[in-house]
Amino acid sequence: MTRTLRLILAALAALVLTLGVTACGSDDDGGGGGGGGGSADLIKSDPANEGKSITIGSKNFTEQFILGEIYAQALEAAGFDVKKDLNLGSEQVAFRALTSGQVDAYPEYTGTSLTSFFDVDIADVPKDPDAAYELAKKEYAAKDITALARTEFENTFRLAAKTEVQEGDLEGAETISDVAELPKADELKVAGFPECRQRTDCLVGINNLYDWKPEFVSTEAKYTPLDEDQADLSFVFSTDGELALDDYKIVEDDKALFPPFNVSLGIRNDALKKIGPKGQEVLEAVQEPLTLEVMRELNSRVDLDKQEPEQVAGDYLKELGFTE
């Protein structure tokens, strides 16, 4: 099965589970179709949106570029005048850009918002995705920012192994608990970025919550240590494009060590008022099909296939029927 077909099928499955997605830019009820083969409603350009400007920002990595492009292109299709500032930098830089008005909106992860902006300790971030989102939404509101509905997918830490290692040396372990209970668990090597050694949601949490003390390999790489047999497992991100392939296997966090990191588009209240309910509807509709599998696929198109984020976002909107 091609990756494009996998994307369409996964996204359509997500759409079937919803009560209905409406992404129209006008008040007409003349249904969707007409797009690139998906079942979403076609975004229609509304003349009333002409001249209404909004600046969409993003942080400085692949997934953020793609998300920023999806939101921006969707609003453009609805007739808004959209500007893009899609390489702002770290979350602190992006958040300052949002609060200062440099950008009107940018996508952020709930766990990041709570720990980086609102002084919530990592250990105190709610484990329930909805609870984490509601807390972030409340904190954003105090700064005249609306946190739009969260995505289904989250981009959080996960442990991954090469598929043959998971099936072989890890004896088919499906969870971190399974790995921690292996006879030679403490002889296993786990790769992670240097800061992981001190983080409670990384190596420290593995040591304490799972009572597992593997040998730690400090590295900025995620998959190279696995590919070159430098480590048995590696800390990765759950939406990495590499995980769209069959080469790697996630070992599930069965004790909820890693907090939720779903995406919410934070938008300034003045900008939200400008684009109105229909604009908000467009923004939330185009993220409805973004399941974990779909986001991995989109990331893989950029990181592995070397396509441009702008093209990947445009293809996504067309494949799902949001645009023609």
pLDDT value for 12: 56
* Residues 13-23: b if buried by 16+ CB within 10 A, e if exposed: ebbeeeeebeb
Residue 256 clears pLDDT 80, i.e. is over it = yes
Residue 2 has pLDDT above 80, yes or no: no
| Predicted confidence (pLDDT) at residue 7 exceeds the cutoff of 70 | no
Evaluate if residue 60 carries a pLDDT over 80: yes
The answer to whether 4 and 301 are in contact (CB under 8 A) is no
pTM above 0.85, yes or no: yes
pLDDT of residue 1: 43
22-53 per-position pLDDT tens digit: 444 444 443 333 334 455 799 999 999 999 99
Domains of the chain are 3-154+260-319 (3.40.190.10), 157-251 (3.40.190.120)
pLDDT of residue 8: 56
Q: pLDDT tens digit string along 266-307?
A: 999 999 999 999 999 999 999 999 999 999 999 999 999 999
Neighbours of 116 (CB within 10 A): 16
How many Cβ atoms are within 10 Å of 84's Cβ, its own excluded?
18
35, two tokens = 């797009």
Rounded Cα distance, 159 and 235, in Å = 5
The HSE-up count of residue 198 (CA atoms within 13 Å, CB side) is: 2
The β-bridge relationship of strands 81-85 and 53-57 is parallel
The token pair that represents 57 in the structure block: 């920002």
Q: Please report the pLDDT score of residue 6 as a whole number.
A: 56
**Element at 192 (helix H, strand E):** strand 189-192
DSSP 252-306: B-TT--SPP-BEEEEEEHHHHHHHHHHHHHHHHHHHTT--HHHHHHHHHHHHTT-
- DSSP for 155-170 reads --EEEEEEHHHHHTTT
pLDDT for res 15? 55
pLDDT tens digit string along 196-245? 999 888 999 999 999 999 999 999 999 999 999 999 999 999 999 999 99
Looking at the predicted structure, is the pLDDT value of residue 4 above 60? no
pLDDT the model gives residue 123: 87
Q: Can you give the length of the chain in residues?
A: 324
Percentage, residues of the chain above pLDDT 70: 88
Give the mean pLDDT of the chain: 91
- Return the structure tokens found at 302: 């950029």
What average pLDDT score do residues 119-146 get? 96
- The span from the CA of 154 to the CA of 315, in Å, is 22
What is the pLDDT, as a whole number, of residue 116?
95
Say if residue 248's pLDDT is above 70: yes
Nearest alpha-carbon partner for 251 in 179, 323, 156, 145: 179
